[in-house]
Amino acid sequence: MARQQLLDAQDVSIQFFRAIEENKLIVPGKTEAQLNEDISDLALKEFGIRRHPCGMKRVTNGIGYWSCNL
């Protein structure tokens, strides 16, 4: 079961990074603060990822969670 959870989290992360590229969020001249805000907005709208109070993002997939520093 844990292996499948890791594979599911990996799939979500791949989709998330593709969405960042497709939405052209990383562009010259954008501040890190603005990029973080744009990524957080995309994460919430498309993946249900909410910003954790300590600055971590949490990806929920109905089975568990995966957190990372973005």
Local confidence pLDDT in tens for the 70 residues of the chain: 689 988 988 998 899 999 999 999 999 999 988 998 999 899 999 988 886 555 554 444 444 444 554 4
22 vs 8: CA distance, rounded Å = 21
Domain ranges of the chain: 2-68
**Structure-token pair, residue 48:** 């249900």
Query: pTM here?
Result: 0.67
